[in-house]
Amino acid sequence: MRKRNYSNVDYSYSSLPSTRKEAFKDVYRHNFMTIFKSGVFLLLSFLPLIAFMIVMEINKMFLTLDNYSESDLFGVLFVWDLIVHIGFVILFTLVVLSLSGVFRIIKLLVFQEGIDFFYDFKKGIKENFKPFIISYFIYITIYLLTYLLQLFFLNQFVGIMTLVLFHIVFTPAFIWGLFSINIYDAKLIKHIKNSYFFYMKTLGFSLLYVFMMDLPILISFIFYENIFGFGVNFIFIIIKNVLLVLALLFFYPFLLVVGSLYSNSKFDLFINKLHYPEIYQKGLYKSK
Amino acid sequence: MDITFKNVSVLYENKKRDIITAIDDISFSFTSEKINVLVGPSGCGKTSLARCLTGEIIYEGEIMYGEKDLEKIETKDRNISYVNENYTLLPNVNVYDNIAFPLRLNKVDHDEADQIIKEVTKYLDIDFLLTRKTKYLSLGQISRVKLAKCFVKDSDLYIFDESNRNLDEENRNKINRYIKDRLKGKTIIFITHNISEALSIADYIYVMNEGKYRGRYTPIEFLESNDEVVQNLLSEIKNEKKKLF
């Protein structure tokens, strides 16, 4: 039998995280595989969407003036865009399903609780999916309305700015809403109110967080197709999706841990200390 | 459920290929629903006896596990919790998963399992280690994790084989209190070389020496016994006291 080395000293309270920053390092060090597994589940839920987008992007490469007249092309591109949006809305529900489970896993991780991955993932879906999907449909409906509205603007810059404005007004609140739902059992309207409260209280961080969430997508714009020839465009599509896969495995799950830790620190400050002392600073070990 | 040994012997070959008699034709019974403490000098066959029950070694003779012949019960169906000195944890798995392992095998409801684990680990003061991998823990903490893994399972028989060896006195007392209070009504075999501990926890003390069974005593009978082996074992306590003063 192989001889085993033991630690000479007890693993003490002082070795445990006492700040959120330490908590992140701790989760990263001790639970990397759990976070990675969460990423795998996110990726699996994204696969239909990725496949759909690849098909649509390849399809778009054939929508050129060589194949259509200028007047027809405008209509065809509009229909293409509409299909992409409808497809996205439908297939993203699968991602919301996965996020419901992943959020519970992340919550347990930052609370330093034991995890039975598959059971807790399923339990997360059971607990979170309904409020998550309702929030998502509210959010996506507002987005689609904004998208349709911006089509009426002749000035493309104004159109883009409308979408950016939507992003600034609604996306951080939507994310705060998800973190709030993950912790508290309350009516949706209360979560919406809370999410705007916390968004306003943490404006800088919230916008930075959304920017970080968008970062892989912004990077993928470097590989914007339909500029070069078919071969290069095809390679760009592959690169873009490989980047997305990597981001889903190694970036987004960790960003969710950061978001969860940060949101918990704010929940502690404004809610938990007074109303939920049992989860106040949960996962942090100040002293025994 | 009584556990009865009838002419049980255990022989094995050592590295030099000599045949060693670990247990030599013993016949006696452990009493059901009691704390049965097994004592004796090192190498007297205490661990071999426990390992016969868990199915780790082959024996000659007959062991009755309640009404049934032990050999006819599959090891997985014996429902025994066994803690020994060896590293029986998964090193790259965290404490929670290690403790939850027997519960998951027995398909215990997850929420119920979670509650049991939290309760036991809180008692043993290892609740803050749930997300740590066991390879980072000290020997004392590993012992407590192994004990927690044993306590969470609802077994018919609990065997503690020198399970307190790496613990300080405070933790030893805590564990023994748990065994006495929370495992009341269960059949327990508690193997130790620590006579003070044996006297404090035992309903009955069983003495072994050189592979042979010497007798069963209540703690008071043990203290008053004239048996040579018992006297030798008791002299260890006296020597310890002398060292202290």
The pLDDT tens digits of the residues spanning B57-85 come to 999 999 999 889 999 999 888 999 999 88
Instruction: List alpha helices for chain A, DSSP H.
Output: 20-30, 32-61, 70-110, 117-151, 156-183, 188-201, 203-220, 230-250, 252-267, 273-275
Spell out which residues of chain B touch residue A109, defining contact as CB-CB under 8 Å: 131
Side-chain half-sphere of A275: how many Cα atoms within 13 Å? 9
pLDDT of residue A224: 66
In this structure, of A178-192, A266-280, B222-236, the range with the lowest mean pLDDT score is: B222-236
Instruction: List pLDDT tens digits, range B127-172.
Output: 989 988 888 888 899 999 999 999 999 999 999 999 888 888 899 9
Cβ atoms of residues B38 and B191 within 8 Å: yes
Strand order in B204-209's β-sheet? B80-83, B157-161, B187-191, B35-39, B204-209, B212-217
- Reading the block at residue B58, the tokens are 């082959």
Long-range contact set of residues B218-222: C-beta below 8 Å, sequence gap at least 24 = B222/B198
Taking 60 as the threshold, does the pLDDT of residue A4 lie above it?
Answer: no
> Cα-atom radius of gyration of chain A, to the nearest Å?
22
Q: Where are the domains of chain B?
A: 1-79+157-163+189-245, 83-154
Residue A232: its pLDDT value, please? 77
Most confident of A89-103, A152-166, B68-82: A89-103
Residue of chain B with shortest Cα separation from A116: B97
Decide if A7 and B138 are in contact by the 8 Å CB cutoff.
yes
**What mean pLDDT is predicted for residues A6-17?**
78
Query: B89 touching A, CB under 8 A?
Result: no
Mean pLDDT (chain B) is: 90
Question: Chain A residues with CB inside 8 Å of B120's CB?
Answer: none
Tens of pLDDT, residue by residue over B7-43, are 999 998 888 888 889 999 999 999 999 999 999 998 8
Contacts of B2 (CB under 8 A, 6+ apart): B29, B30, B31, B32, B64, B66
Average pLDDT over residues B120-133: 91
> Which pLDDT band holds residue A90 (cuts at 50, 70, 90)?
very high
Q: Is the pLDDT of residue A9 over 80?
A: no
Beta bridge partners of residue B23, listed in sequence order: B10
| Mutation to test the A interface, candidates B101, B115, B131, most A Cβ within 10 Å | B131
B219 burial type by CB count under 10 A (0-12 exposed, 13-18 middle, 19+ buried): middle
pLDDT score of A225 more than 70? no
CA-angle at A252, arms to A250 and A256, nearest 5°: 125
Gap between the Cα atoms of B211 and A196, Å rounded: 75
Q: What is the ipTM of this complex?
A: 0.73
Q: In whole angstroms, what is the distance from residue B241 CA to residue B245 CA?
A: 6
A198 in Cβ contact with A263 (< 8 Å): yes
Q: What is the pLDDT of residue A6?
A: 67
User: What pLDDT was estimated at residue A1?
Assistant: 47
Least confident of A77-91, A152-166, B86-100, B222-236: A152-166
- On chain B, the residues whose CB falls within 8 A of the CB of A112 are 128, 130-131
Taking an 8 Å cut-off on Cβ atoms, the answer to whether A116 and B97 are in contact is yes
Checking if the pLDDT of A249 tops 70, the result is yes
DSSP B213-236: EEEEE-HHHHHH---HHHHHHHHH
pLDDT value at A52 more than 80 = yes
Q: Does B103 touch chain A (CB under 8 A)?
A: no
| Å between B95 CA and nearest CA of chain A | 8
Of A4, A30, A115, the CB nearest to B132: A30
A119 has a chain B CB within 8 A of its CB? yes
Compute the mean pLDDT over every residue in chain A, rounded to the nearest whole number: 89
Question: Rounded to the nearest 5°, which phi and psi values hold at B9?
Answer: -130, 145
Task: State residue B80's pLDDT score.
Answer: 94
- Range B1-79+157-163+189-245 classified under CATH 3.40.50.300: yes
pLDDT of residue A197: 97
Q: Strand runs (DSSP E) across B14-142, as ranges?
A: 19-30, 35-39, 60-65, 68-69, 80-83
DSSP-assigned letter for residue B14: -
Contact criterion met (CB below 8 Å) for B34 and B187: yes
Higher pLDDT, B159 or A71: B159
Q: Does A281 touch chain B (CB under 8 A)?
A: no
The per-residue pLDDT for B216 is: 95
B195: enclosing H helix or E strand: helix B195-201
Bridge partners (DSSP) listed for residue A273:
none
Is the pLDDT at A13 greater than 80? The verdict is: no
Residue of A109, A34, A113, A29 lying closest to B128 (CA atoms): A113
Predicted pLDDT of residue B242: 59
Q: How does DSSP classify residue B94?
A: B
